[in-house]
Every structure is written in C-alpha cells, then in structure tokens.
Structure 1
Amino acid sequence: MTAVRGPALHRGDCIGIAAPATHDEGQDISAAVDRLEQAGYRVKLMPTVTGSYGFFAGTDEERARDVNALFHDDDVKAILCLNGGYGSARILDKLDYDYIAAHPKLVIGFSDVTALQIALWEKCRLVTANGPLMVTLGGSDAYTAGQFFQGLTTDVWQGPLALPAGRKLTTVVPGQAEGPIVGGNLTVLTSLVGTPYALDGTGCILVLEDTGEDAYRIDRMLNQLWQSGLLSRVAAIAYGDFTDCPHDPGDFTTDQVLDYYAHLAGKPAIKGLPVGHTKDKAFVPYGVEGRIDADREGASLTFVDG
C-alpha cells in the first residue's frame, strides 16, 4: 500500500482541532488559537474540544464523530489534536478508514495520539506528524513552533532533521538503513499489540519515546515488542526522549534498557531524537521515507522523500 498524504498548507487554510483523547484538563488554548491565527490560519474547534466526559473530552462516539467530521469537511486541510492523556485507542473501531484514505489530511500530535496515528498508518498508510498538541502549542519554544509551522507547509521532505541548539544524535548500534519513519509513544504503541491496529513495522524506522515510566516498565514493554516480532521486522530504531523514567539503586537504567534491546534487535539504532514529552519538539512526519546513518563519529536522521 502506497503512503497517502494531505496537502501542504498555505496562509488562509483552515486547521481543525480534534479531541480524540483526554479533555483539556483546564488548560487554556486561547494562546494556541492566537498563534495559529497570527500565522495566517483559520481555526475550527470541534464540540469535544470544550467537552468533558469522565477523563475523556467526550464519549467515544462523540470523539470519533468529530475526527470523522474533520476528514469529511473539505474546508479543513489539517487536523491538530487537543491533548494526549488517554482515549484515542477507544475510538479506533469507529473511524471511517476508507473515506480517510481517499481524502487524506495531516494529523498532528504525540503521546496518546500515537494510537490514532498508528491506526491511520496501518489502515490507510496515512502520513501523520509528531508535533505539539493544542494544549502545548501556545507555550511552545521557538524551535518547536518553528518546526511546527515549517512542517505544515512542507510538501517534499528532504535533508537532515534540524536539531535544537546543543542537541546531537548518538549511535547505539552502528549501521545505515532506510524506510518509512513510524512510531511514537512506547506505552501506547505497545498497548496496540494484539489488536487490529497494531504496528507491523516491516522495513520501517521505528521511533520510540516515553515519560513517567520506571526503567523496568520500559524493559517490559520493549520485551513485548521483541517477543511480538516487531523489533525483528523494523529496519532501524530511533529513540526519542524518555523523560522522568527512574530506576531503583542498583537496577538497570533506562538508557541501559534501551541499549540492550537495540543490540538484541541487531538493527541500526540511534538516540537523542527530539520527540516526545520534551521542551524542544521536532516535527517528524510519520510515513515519510527516512535514512538512519550511525557510526562512531555520530548519527543522523535524514528525510529522503520523493
């Protein structure tokens, strides 16, 4: 199945805001709306953006209806997700994948939005993007905002991923590999194993990040990805940030766990990608072809689209 993608955006285009997971948790999104409008975009807020149903932004049916409606709305050119948290996986069986595949649009987010992005890749081969959420965009730093607005208007992805000042990618397992870039949050991605929406990952560059998980939990999830066969199928691994992932004294650190499974998979692997629950957030298109180069001198992720 060939990857499909929505159009690059232009000033005056409309960005739809969907809430597939948790509600806004009391966070004010007016600064994000202002930032989008000042950049020349129109903003459409779906009803669940201001909704609340338990820890969700609405019922499963309401949240799925809003996502489907944004794909059906010809005026909307891209979809930015409100928040992460939890809940995207609960609407996956309610999405109109056939229509989405025929009317592609860029879906942007991270964290729990990984479930939506993986499902759209597996069912539609839809190109999505790791980027800020609506609840974080308003306060985003210059690097994150710059990456976001540049990413919205990019039609063909070529060249090395731009990194924030002071950050560099490092080699875990040396080698070179090419393939579609896919992945996201480790916890969410692992939760899809055994479902119809699980990532196959064959020949892909697998991006993984997480936050707030003890090192032994990271090990447990990577072990599941190993035993399910995913880590054997991918072409390479690119670790993002694993923030607030502690270990008890004498236990393996998160870095040691990540390194172990990269070597176990035996595929080229790098770490330090600015994705995940991190201040500096790269805009990484999932589904676009990339190349990993990793050796003793350093590492890089290069887009080789088109």
Structure 2
Amino acid sequence: MIKPSSLQKGDRVAVIAPAGPPDREHLLQGQRVLEEMGLDVVIGKNVFNAEEDLAAAGEKRLADLHEAFSDPAIRGVFCANGGFGSAKIAPMIDYEKLQSNPKIFWGYSDITYLLNAIQQFSDLVTFHGPMVASDLNDEQITKETASSFAPLFTGESIIYDSHTSRLQTIAHGTGEGPLAGGNLTLLTSGLGTPYQVKSKGSILLIEEVAEPAFRVDLMLTHLKQAGVFDEVQGVVLGNFQADPDEHFKIRKVLQNFFAHARFPVVENFLFGHCQPNYGVPLGVEATLTTSPPQLLIDSGVQ
C-alpha cells in the first residue's frame, strides 16, 4: 500500500462532498478547525451543489475529487460529510490519477465505499475519520476528535486501549493484519462488486448508525454467508449509534454473533458516528490483542 506524505503546517488541503452537500455554517466552522491546525483550506467548487439530477450531481462531485488529486499543491482531501451516492461515482474514478498523485483521503459513513475502492484500485492508504462539516462543527466537536488528526502531522503509530474508551472483549486472541472496513451498510452493499472490502487476512472495522438490531444481525449474516469473516484475523467493533433500548439489543446481537469467533473481537471503539470520533488509517498493519484489549495501528503517512 502507498502511504501519502505527512502534513505540515502551511500545507493546502481540499474539502469535497462526494456524498452530498453539507450544512454551510457547519462546514465553515469545520474549516476554521482545520485552519487552526495550520492548514490552508480550499473548498471544492461543487461542495454545496444540490443538483436534483443524481447523475449530474455525481459528475460534479467526481470533478472535485479529480481536481483535488490532480493539484500538486494540495496535500490532503477531506470529506465534508456523509449522505448517499458515493457508490455511483466509484466506477468513474480515474484510479491511475489517484495512484500517481498519492495524498491523504479522509472520511467515513457513505464515504466507506470510496475508502475501499481507492485502496483496491489505487493501492493507496485511506483514512476512516471525522468529517469537516458533520464532526468538526461547534455543536459536535470534542478535543479528542480534533486530536485524532495529529498523527497526519507527526507520523506516529496509534495505540487504542481502555484509556481511550472502555473496551470490552467478546472473543479472545491476538490478530495481525491490515486494518480494513467501515460502515456496515456500505460494506454489505459492496458485496459482489469490484469494490467489495478486502477482508482476507485483515483486522476488520465495523460501525453503524440508526439501524435496528434486526438489520444489524441481517447484515452481519450477509457478510458471513458471503465469506467475509472466513479469513479475517480480528474484528474491531466501533460505535453503533442508536437509542438506549435499541442499543442494548444491538449489543446482544454483536455478542451472540461473535461469541464463538476463532479470531479476537473487541467492542466499544469510538470510531464512526459518535463523539469522540477517532480517525484511523485503513490499509496499514494493525495488531489486535485482548489481554488487555488493545489495537495498535501503524502510521498511515510517511
């Protein structure tokens, strides 16, 4: 996998919206957070485009992606928010262009589809992390979320243990492999396509939001029957945001589903639709242990 270069203060980064337009005020608030990190932020031409024609909207969102990767002055590409439609532009991406101009690509939720597609066809490390409008706005941001951008500058590896959140082990063991995954719905929708997550030998990250327990169980079963869990080396369960009653049911689903796994499974990592929302690189080597529970992730930049 190709690691993009680390960031330095003064570097220019682009904000794009492959999954739909963000709230304008929230985006401007998030832009200020990036600027406080010392970055020069440019906003994609089509970020606020609310084109009703989905095909036309996809072409404009794709144009922002290609322009950001083509511009040698831009060192990182950060997504504004989630939404829908990322899957539609995956077949149209010029993956050779991205591979020839490696840089940080950062997002989650619906962006999961692009994180996996870019990894597979550009051999580029991508980043599952908090987004500019939805996570860095004044209402949502926490200092922990903002601090998870720091490894992009320092190149440090990431150690995630119970000092970060109260991790709980479902299945014991030790696993090593590249970190992969993302949002459960998007992982499931990618099955059978050229953009299906590469789970063989991986530590698989799974998170979700606003899905009932029965749907979580159905999607996990779909992944299992498609062979996704056959050769994974571990599973990291992120946030599964839901109301308290439904969250209790979801935890039961997760515990029952993974109780007899042959690989380590740890839950309650703060990745995804939550605050704090910690950013992590995908495609780099990671080690998951359970005594005590800990996830060690190599640096995503060079």
How does the TM-score come out when normalised to structure 1? 0.90
Displacement of 1:74: 0.4
Note the C-alpha offset of 1:54.
3.1
CA 1:271–1:17: 2 relative to 1, 3 Å: same
TM superposition shift of 1:197: 0.5
Letter in 2 for 1:273: F
For residues 84-163 of structure 1, the aligned pairs below 5 Å read 84-135=82-133, 136-139=135-138, 140-148=141-149, 150-155=150-155, 157-158=156-157, 160-161=159-160
C-alpha separation between the residues in 1 aligned to 2:12 and 2:142?
A: 23
Aligned to 1:303: 297
Q: How many residues end up aligned between the 2 structures?
A: 297
Q: Say if 1:226 and 1:265, in contact at 8 Å, map to a contact too.
A: no
Contact kept? 2:161, 2:293, Cα under 8 Å: no
1:236 aligns with 2:234: yes
- In structure 2, distance between residues paired with 1:57 and 1:39: 35
SS for the counterpart of 1:161 is: strand
Structure 2 partner of 1:59: 57
What residue number does 1:81 align with?
A: 79
Q: Percent identity?
A: 32
Q: TM-score, normalised on structure 2?
A: 0.91
Read off the aligned partner of 1:122 and give its amino acid letter: Q
Matched ranges for 1:250-269 at <5 A: 253-263=249-259, 265-269=261-265
Residues 89-125 of structure 1: per-residue CA shift (max 9 Å, x gap)? 1100110111212221111111111111011112222
Instruction: Report the 3-state secondary structure (helix = DSSP H, G, I; strand = E; otherwise coil) of the residue aligned with 2:230.
Output: helix
CA distance in 1, matches of 2:268, 2:243: 15
| Cα deviation digits, residues 183-230 of structure 1 (max 9, x gap) | 111011111111111112111100000010010000110001000000
| 2:289 is the counterpart of 1:288 | no
CA contact (8 A) 1:181 1:204 kept: yes
Report the residue type matching 1:137 in the other structure.
L
Cα distance in structure 2, aligned partners of 1:164 and 1:132:
20
When residues 269 and 133 of structure 1 are mapped into structure 2, their CA distance, relative to the original with a 3 A threshold, is: same
After TM superposition, the structure 1 = structure 2 runs for residues 34-53 of structure 1, keeping only pairs within 5 Å, are: 34-53=32-51
4+ runs of 1 displaced by more than 4 Å?
55-58, 162-165, 245-248
The residue identity in structure 2 corresponding to 1:153 is F
**Helix, strand or coil at the partner of 2:47:** helix
Look up the SS of the partner of 1:253 in the other structure: helix
Higher mean alpha-carbon deviation, 185-194 vs 265-274, is at: 265-274
Contact 1:21 1:112 (C-alpha < 8 Å) held by counterparts: yes
Indicate conservation of the 8 Å contact 2:20/2:47, yes or no: no
Counterpart residue type for residue 292 of structure 1: L
Residue 92 of structure 1 aligns to a residue whose secondary structure is helix
CA RMSD of aligned residues (A): 2.3
Distance 1:58 1:275 in 2: 32
Within 5 Å, which residues of 2 pair with 1:20-31? Answer: 20-25=18-23, 27-31=25-29
Residue from 165, 171, 174 that aligns with 1:173? 171
Deviation per CA, 1:138-173: give whole Å up to 9, x if none: 33111100112x032132x435226666x2211110
